[in-house]
Amino acid sequence: MDRKTAFAGPEIKLKDILEMKDRRVLLQRQMLKEHENSLISFSVMMAGPVKQNEMSRFLFSEGLKEIRKMLDQRNVKISKEHIEQSPGGDTALISCDIDSMKLKKLCMELEQDIPFGRLLDIDVISSEGNTITRAMANKESRCCIVCGKNGSGCARSRAHGVNELLDAIWSIACHEGN
């Protein structure tokens, strides 16, 4: 994979991204209703209008392997797994038989322990349908991949341009040895 082609792909419109998010919420609710377990909602953070590209597919595949390995190593039973590929990016929903706070802490450890973990978006939803936040787990917000300040603040204010963010993604992913 080279920098020039890593982020190439079809551009997606905001309307399509919002529709995809709505669909993901419906699938999450359906899985929570069927299994009454904690739920991992996993995707890759990808800046800009191209969400499905060589880099996002690589990070999704490697991230999913790491999540499965973590769950297996801790003997966490997976009740159901749903993978969806779309122009808005790949998504995995994984229903797990484990306390949601314990699962959130495991997922935060994973995000911290693997070199490209900062690029993964691993949300945990309780069996009641509540998202378990980093604050609920007594952790600070994640840092911006460009400047190191509060990541959600930089995202809200659009402090960094798409190319600056893609350069940071490339740098972090290449640290993984690719």
The 10s digit of each residue's pLDDT in 75-98 is 999 999 999 998 889 999 999 999
For position 174, what pLDDT does the model report? 87
Cα gap 41→18, rounded to integer Å: 16
pLDDT, mean of residues 56-77: 97
**Domains located in the chain, CATH noted:** 3-140 (3.30.70.260)
Q: Is the pLDDT of residue 67 over 90?
A: yes
The 10s digit of each residue's pLDDT in 35-45 is 989 999 999 99
Q: How many CB atoms lie within 10 A of CB 89?
A: 23
